Amino acid sequence: MSGILYVTGADERYFATTLLLLESFARQMPQARLMVCDYGLAPGQLAYLADRGQLLPRPEGLPETLHPYAKKAAILDYVGDLPWQALCWIDADMLAVGLDGAIMAHLLQRLEASGADIALTTDINELTLSDVAAMDAGGTTMAPFRALLAESGADPAAPYISVGFWLCRSRALLVDWDRRSRGLRPHPLFEQNVMALLIHGPNWGYAGRALLLDPVEWQPQNHLLPLIRTAGDGYTVRGRTVRLVHCTSCRYWFMDIYKSHVEVQGQALAGYFRILQNPALRALQKDLLHDHVVRHGDALSRHGLLTIADP
């Protein structure tokens, strides 16, 4: 399928959330496979994904204690020798609602025609690099980013980006992303900050080689979550077709957070859930979870991931 390898990543806490992405992706892209990087999954979760052929184990030599953001930037270590023309990353807390093979093939064609290395969205809140550098309001939290901003030579007025979804055809860019992220002092969204400077900083060798996508189309989130509506077989927001819904928001507005269990046909799946308050998206999440448990309940039970619900 256009030589695109699709990848996400999760730890034990995010497993239930990841099931929603896997089920939505399978509906939208039945001929593709979404692989899952192990960022600290539990044994039963690892076994379940391995049985499905969707597990990318933590590579030998990659410390288990490495920050999840740094593990995300180490994606080439996880992918190993798997063949790809382009790598596509999708955050585990997303829902695929408007993707298909033709859309992704077209995006790859756009990427190649533009001569860019990576396609990714700008920030949903239209932040600039200087806005992010000042997030600590004069404190020290963002000091590592401010130092890198100066080193990279990036224009502080350049648009900030998101690494929640991206399509990349450059191994060299991903190698640099890993190298610069892995030894960096952790601070908010540090791997995303590094990518922003890689694509904007003339001193780092990749400036001007990013295809910037519309976040409203490719990953609406935050204040847009309540505005998403059904439209035929898909979803729209602000008149645009939605490709992926990113179930994240400032201070978890517009969603209910559960660390509990959900019951499906007398069986209980425990985990951490972000259930959106938007009625259409909440119904979609419930439907996805129901279908996944019904279709794969035997395997989930075999690996200790389902229990009999209390009467």
Which pLDDT does position 1 carry in this prediction? 45
Phi, psi values for residue 21, rounded to 5°: -65, -45
In this structure, whether the domain defined by 4-219 belongs to CATH 3.90.550 is answered with: yes
Instruction: Provide the 8-state DSSP code for 214.
Output: P
In contact, 222 and 250? CB cutoff 8 Å: yes
Buried b (16+ CB within 10 A) or exposed e, 2-37: eebbbbbbbbbebbbbbbbbbbbbbebbeebbbbbb
Identify the helix (H) or strand (E) that includes residue 168.
strand 161-168
C-alpha radius of gyration, the chain, whole number: 19
Q: 122 pairs with which residues across the strands?
A: 161
| Model confidence band, residue 38 (pLDDT cutoffs 50, 70, 90) | very high
Q: Where are the domains of the chain?
A: 4-219
Extended strands (E) in 214-302: 229-231, 234-237, 240-241, 244-246, 255-264, 267-276
The pLDDT tens digits for 125-153 are 999 999 999 999 989 999 999 999 999 99
Angle at 157 between CA 153 and CA 158, to 5 degrees: 70
Mean pLDDT in residue range 68-82: 97
Which pLDDT does position 2 carry in this prediction? 64
This prediction has a pTM of 0.97
Phi, psi values for residue 116, rounded to 5°: -80, 160
Mean pLDDT in residue range 248-277: 90
Identify the helix (H) or strand (E) that includes residue 49.
helix 43-51
Quote the CA–CA distance of 292 and 26 in Å, as a whole number: 10
- Comparison of pLDDT for 310 and 183, the residue scoring more: 183
Mean pLDDT in residue range 60-78: 96
Helix (H, G, I), strand (E, B) or coil at 170: coil
